[in-house]
Structure 1
Amino acid sequence: MSVKRKKLLIDTDAGVDDAQAILIALQDPDVDVIGITCVMGNADAKQVGLNVLRILKVADKLDIPVFVGCNDPLLGDKKPASDYHGSDGFGDAPDKEAPDESLLQSEHAVTALVRLAKEHEGEMTLVCIGPLTNVAMAIRMDGTFGSRLKGCYIMGGNHEGKGNMTTSAEFNFYSDPEAAYVVLNQLKSPITIVTWETCDRHSLPWEFYHKLRTNNNRITNFLRKVEQLSVNYSIENKWGSFIPCDEVLVACCLNHDVIKTCHDVYATVEIKGQYTWGQMVVDWKSVLKKENNVKIVTDIEQSVYENVLMKLVQG
């Protein structure tokens, strides 16, 4: 009996950790990535599109359509990109033989999201590994957008109030809090979230990270090159481990054995707080008496997750 292939649409801001996450999906024999939409975040939206083309070239998958989307948050308060990913999102490690921008689709990412959800109704899983601006705009364009999805996986937010951009906000939600608010409250699709704290808790010991990058093949050489700036940044700042995030989400999406503990809860996003703007607020005690709208992954099986990462670079 053949296994039904999963159809994924990936919405990304294609920084360093997005690269490995996308490659995991591209190399999975039971997955069809039917499109990749690009949003500002680790770089401007068009640069993100160029980064995605480099990923597809490494995976020999340049036939997958890439759509450039929103380059500003819903309310226009654009945040500066993090130094962690470099000015181009890919560690300032250019490729003279990178695919030409003519390979980017002319259709806007938001229009593509709505169209593809209709064409693959009930079959397409949306994987969000960047700010949620494109997805929020798709909801605004078509209120039935989310109900057409099989499910939605989001890397973002925080379930313990710990931030990596402010005292209490994670990067993807911080980059466009209003978009995150719209998605969590109005998507009308099963949502699974992997938060910053979960990724931080399951960071990679340096010994294991260097083991991942020892092979001499096309994927490993590419990842080593674009990650070098981030690795140097981590070491200079005395981080005790390497902290990828989007990889955790994609691993959970493609292999549910990665998930150890998750909770059905109601969660929203603070969009008015002076100190907590962009924080994901989780109603652990059902104080708000609202219907659960998300599953939050709070713990994963580290060995299963690390096997997913190792399988990619050994292939």
Structure 2
Amino acid sequence: MTTPLPVLIDCDPGVDDSIAILLALASPELEVLGITTVAGNVPADRTLENGRRVVAWAGRPEVPVYPGCTAPLLGPVVRGKYSGAGGLGGTLLPESAAPAERDHAVDVLTRHLAAAIAESRKITVCVLGPMTNLAVALARDPSLAAGIAQVVAMAGAFSTGGNRTPTAEFNVLADPHAAEIVLRCGAPIVLAPLDVTFQALATPERVQALKARDGRLTRTAVELITFYDRNDPARYGEPGGPLHDPCVIAWLLRPKLFGTREAYVTVGLQPGLGYGQTIGDFFKLTGETPNATVLWKLNAPGFFDLLWDRIAAL
């Protein structure tokens, strides 16, 4: 039997974060060591509570959920637009009965990565929100990068343009300085930008296919995903809401569902229209060595088969 891949999930739940967490917890290929939360879609106290409710909903209350950073390193606070005021649309998930964790996300990341170095067992860090927690840990101790197998982040936008400004994707815009620190850390980086996540479109037909599945969580998952429908076919090509964050987990489970490109990626940090923009050199025009694998193409039918199968099986 293959040893499960150890992962930490850093997130700001969020509808699509919640679906990504479900996918991870439903997948025996992954050992979820913990979930760290950060301010992003909603304030930090809400992302923590949402994370605790998601693991309770999944029937995995033993998975610890930790509080994290409450604001970006620098720059203005930006909140999400598409997950509702509380982060989970109008859906009320069950409260967690597990004791609240008090350790801070930065300390948790530090502890796990230091142990990974000592034990020669690297950890994959899945970042589904602003990169503040991981950036602070790496800024405090850059040697921790040696404990990272890969950082897989839902982050950035290239040919599609942004989803919060004409140039910037939300997770990077919410803390571009943190994203730049992570991109410079020296660990392997995989980015799932809007270019690929827009292809993970939960169309009404695909949501109906989940609704037809018989599972404990499917009805609530359908409710969450239906709320997330942007009703913007002019942007996405057809009705539906893109499930950005589950692409990160799907990459770990089924990398053959994706086409990739290598690029040198940097982040715009100057005020103005380019603030938070991910700038990708895909053709080695700068002479810089590529620092990221960028997910670019998605086998959407295969992605949704995987996602729906796992959610229905929980």
Superposition TM-score, scaled by structure 2 size: 0.92
Aligned match of 1:179: 178
Q: In the alignment, does 2:232 pair up with 1:225?
A: no
- 1:130-209 alignment runs, 5 A limit: 130-160=129-159, 162-185=161-184, 187-209=185-207
The whole-number CA distance in structure 2 between the counterparts of 1:161 and 1:27 is 31
The whole-number CA distance in structure 1 between the counterparts of 2:69 and 2:90 is 22
The whole-number CA distance in structure 2 between the counterparts of 1:93 and 1:57 is 14
The whole-number CA distance in structure 2 between the counterparts of 1:54 and 1:32 is 19
**Aligned partner of 1:47: which letter?**
R
**Aligned partner of 1:225: which letter?**
E
**Aligned partner of 2:281: which letter?**
D
The whole-number CA distance in structure 2 between the counterparts of 1:145 and 1:55 is 29
Aligned match of 2:282: 284
Unaligned runs of 5+ in 2: none
Match of 1:120 among 104, 116, 139: 116
**Aligned partner of 2:165: which letter?**
T
Q: In the alignment, does 2:231 pair up with 1:234?
A: yes
Match of 2:96 among 86, 96, 99: 99
The whole-number CA distance in structure 1 between the counterparts of 2:262 and 2:34 is 29
The whole-number CA distance in structure 2 between the counterparts of 1:292 and 1:235 is 34
Aligned match of 1:304: 302
The whole-number CA distance in structure 2 between the counterparts of 1:213 and 1:129 is 25
1:158 partner SS: coil
**Aligned partner of 2:300: which letter?**
Q
Deviation, structure 1 residue 271: 0.8
Q: Is the 8 A contact 1:43 1:87 kept in 2?
A: yes
**Taking structure 1 as reference, are residues 92 and 170 closer, same or farther at Cα in structure 2, changes over 3 Å only?**
same
The whole-number CA distance in structure 2 between the counterparts of 1:134 and 1:204 is 29
**Taking structure 1 as reference, are residues 103 and 40 closer, same or farther at Cα in structure 2, changes over 3 Å only?**
same
Instruction: Say what the alpha-carbon RMSD is for the aligned residues.
Output: 2.0
**Taking structure 1 as reference, are residues 224 and 309 closer, same or farther at Cα in structure 2, changes over 3 Å only?**
same
The whole-number CA distance in structure 1 between the counterparts of 2:76 and 2:156 is 18
Deviation, structure 1 residue 29: 1.3
Aligned match of 2:312: 314
**Aligned partner of 1:234: which letter?**
N
Aligned match of 1:54: 53
2:181 partner SS: helix
Q: How many residues align?
A: 308
2:34 partner SS: strand
- 1:74-113 alignment runs, 5 A limit: 74-82=73-81, 84-95=82-93, 97-99=94-96, 103-113=99-109
**Aligned partner of 2:56: which letter?**
K
Deviation, structure 1 residue 224: 2.7
Cα-to-partner distance string for 1:198-218 (whole Å, 9 max, x where unaligned): 111342332112211233532
- Structure 1 consecutive aligned stretches of length 4 or more whose deviation exceeds 4 Å: 235-239
Superposition TM-score, scaled by structure 1 size: 0.92
Deviation, structure 1 residue 161: 5.6
Cα-to-partner distance string for 1:231-287 (whole Å, 9 max, x where unaligned): 3x537999622211001121012221222x211221110111521111100012222
**Taking structure 1 as reference, are residues 36 and 271 closer, same or farther at Cα in structure 2, changes over 3 Å only?**
same
The whole-number CA distance in structure 2 between the counterparts of 1:310 and 1:216 is 11
2:153 partner SS: strand
Deviation, structure 1 residue 76: 4.8
The whole-number CA distance in structure 1 between the counterparts of 2:7 and 2:183 is 19
Deviation, structure 1 residue 153: 0.3
2:252 partner SS: helix
The whole-number CA distance in structure 2 between the counterparts of 1:132 and 1:168 is 18
Aligned match of 1:274: 272
Q: Is the 8 A contact 1:39 1:48 kept in 2?
A: yes
